[in-house]
Amino acid sequence: MIASAYGWSIERVAYRPVRNSKRLIALISAIGMSIFLQNYVSLTEGSRDIALPSLFNGQWIVGSSENFSASITTMQLVIWVVTFVAMLALTLFIRYSRMGRACRACAEDLKMASLLGINTDRVIALTFVIGAAMAAVAGVLLGQFYGVINPYIGFMAGMKAFTAAVLGGIGSIPGAMIGGLILGIAEALSSAYLSTEYKDVVSFALLIVVAAGDADRHPGSPGGRESMKPMQFAMALLSAAMFFVLAGVFMGVQLQLDGTKLVVGSAADIRWQWIFIGTAVVFFFQMLRPLFQKGLKSVSGPKFILPAIDGSTVKQKLFLIALLVIAVAWPFMVSRGTVDIATLTMIYIILGLGLNVVVGLSGLLVLGYGGFYAIGAYTFALLNHYYGLGFWTCLPLAGLVSAAAGFLLGFPVLRLRGDYLAIVTLGFGEIVRILLLNNTEVTGGPNGISQIPKPTFFGLEFSRSAREGGWDTFSNFFGVKYDPSDRVIFLYLVALLLVVLSLFVINRLLRMPLGRAWEALREDEIACRSLGLSPTRIKLTAFTISAAFAGFAGTLFAARQGFVSPESFTFAESAFVLAIVVLGGMGSQFAVILAAILLVVSRELMRDFNEYSMLMLGGLMVLMMIWRPQGLLPMTRPQLKMKNGKAKEGEQA
């Protein structure tokens, strides 16, 4: 019941407001809500593993011989029975009930279903309620099977659930059960004949292959219409009551160990105070929401639109030159730590600009961008560790390797769109991370690779003494006093140079036919194809170029840190880069730069509240998609306007 209430609330908060928007906006809102919920549970219940007492004990031997034996536990039997009953009940409901037929009608054509008198809002809310309830049952069974739970078990389980659904066929309940069985067998065989660490790689690889081969069956779903809103007071009261119940369950109570037993206890009084405050805020916000929405519409005019800064006028050229001079001179007047944060900001600017190519310019949602980032960083680390190559040699090589990875990933996912493309690219990012984590002999596994050198100035090192086999140091060659800050400042200047080059390359591409093709693909893929353009080629170039920028950023990251490990390239990193693009304004390079500065600097300044950063990031993504999906500073679109005088002359003629 609690999970169903959460499902209903999530549909109301994060999905219904963006249902009539573009598919990309709804997907970003869903990702933000997923990040928010995961970190919300981590903060309220703790991030540690919690042991669960077993409710079902016992084991039966079903076959035994000298070379073979098989057994089944009571828990396994319960899982089979509950799964079969749940699938049977859901199948009967979908096929024979009135609401089930309405669900199928909405799945086929949401607009046509609404024209036939079906309350599409109610049907979609029901699917969220049922889906959340099924997920809760699966969570209980999963916790009983493994004996431990933590806030992060849902991420991998959700990915594998999607894989099972794709294997069995989206929309087929028996097919989903069969797909789950096939996936389980594949993981068991990979654990037996390969390694337990690589079973997740097999799952994600299976997802990519099946989804790419079945892409023609995934056309995407259209949006529905808004139903009439109920009374404002009743909705405010219901929302406040729902918040109080859900927050009370997750914040007001805690799981505590009493000896060997797991008991439920009340949380501290301060938590209950925050629950009451939150309930009041939800109630008054719902009451005042129409006025709030009206006020937002009144301020969302052209005055908030970011003008195109492309250096086309003399004023813009002077402005860009002044910015560049300030950026070059600034690190010599601030502390070493401030310059280091600025270098990190430059790295995220490059990542944001690269991701903006596929998300903002091409309209393709990529969730595994951290995979290309990791490939670039490890390319530099491995080439230096095994072959002694320096930064400047590895920088173009890392870009080429990452671009090749983007090119190879582009082939199997070219026909995918929407959530299928997002999930498949997320699977790619996880495959890269798992391979780096488990290939200990080459990548160092969880220990990573250390002693990665900083870039040099034409072979001159920014250190007190040159390394063995090195040429000379910068201070000794020029006869200046050694200063440890010089190394940090030079790395910042290198990062600034790469940012300028990235902006130059992207702006030149946008003026070429390729850039226009990206924008055409973003607006309408079918219209793009009808104009004689090849969506396949356009997507492939977007993937390749975007991955190359991630490779450059990864090389810079490895040089700044001096150490790389797989834990630096989790999904949270991809989500953070996506938030930069979403917050600034998809498609606008200048807005991405401002958003990167804002998010990176605020995260560094709020180190004491680091555990809340991902929670706020997820909530920010949802709010941005609801209230301002175009971003804080959206790019200007080229428009043709006719002057009034000419218009009147045309009318008289």
Residue-wise pLDDT tens digits, 82-103:
888 888 898 888 888 998 888 8
Residue-wise pLDDT tens digits, 439-482:
888 898 889 999 898 898 888 888 777 777 667 787 777 778 87
Instruction: Give a yes or no: residue 310 inside a domain.
Output: no
CATH number at residue 369: 1.10.3470
The whole-angstrom separation of Cα 480 and Cα 474 is 8
Is the Cβ–Cβ distance between 357 and 542 less than 8 Å?
yes
Domain match, 374 and 506 both:
yes
Domain match, 346 and 206 both:
no
The whole-number pLDDT of residue 403 equals: 95
Instruction: Give a yes or no: residue 238 inside a domain.
Output: no
Number of domains comprising the chain: 2
Instruction: Give a yes or no: residue 609 inside a domain.
Output: no
Alpha helix segments (H runs only) across 153-268: 153-168, 173-193, 199-213, 232-251
Is the Cβ–Cβ distance between 583 and 599 less than 8 Å?
yes
Domain match, 344 and 477 both:
yes
Instruction: Give a yes or no: residue 144 inside a domain.
Output: no
Phi, psi of 566 (to 5 degrees): -60, -25
Q: Show the low-confidence residues of the chain (pLDDT under 70).
A: 61-70, 171, 192-195, 210-240, 242-243, 245-273, 283-284, 286-312, 418, 469-470, 610-611, 634-653
Which residue type is seen at 290?
Answer: P
Cα–Cα–Cα angle for 180, 184, 186, rounded to 5 degrees = 115
| Of 188, 217, 246, the domain-final residue | 217
| Structural domain span for residue 363 | 340-602
The whole-number pLDDT of residue 218 equals: 47
| Of 194, 217, 240, the domain-final residue | 217
The whole-number pLDDT of residue 375 equals: 95
Instruction: Give a yes or no: residue 69 inside a domain.
Output: no
The whole-number pLDDT of residue 198 equals: 72
Query: In 333-476, where do the E strands start and end?
Result: 449-450, 460-461, 472-473
The whole-number pLDDT of residue 651 equals: 44
Instruction: Give a yes or no: residue 151 inside a domain.
Output: no
Instruction: Give a yes or no: residue 598 inside a domain.
Output: yes
Instruction: Count CB-CB contacts under 10 A for residue 213.
Output: 12
| Of 562, 587, 602, the domain-final residue | 602
Instruction: Give a yes or no: residue 383 inside a domain.
Output: yes
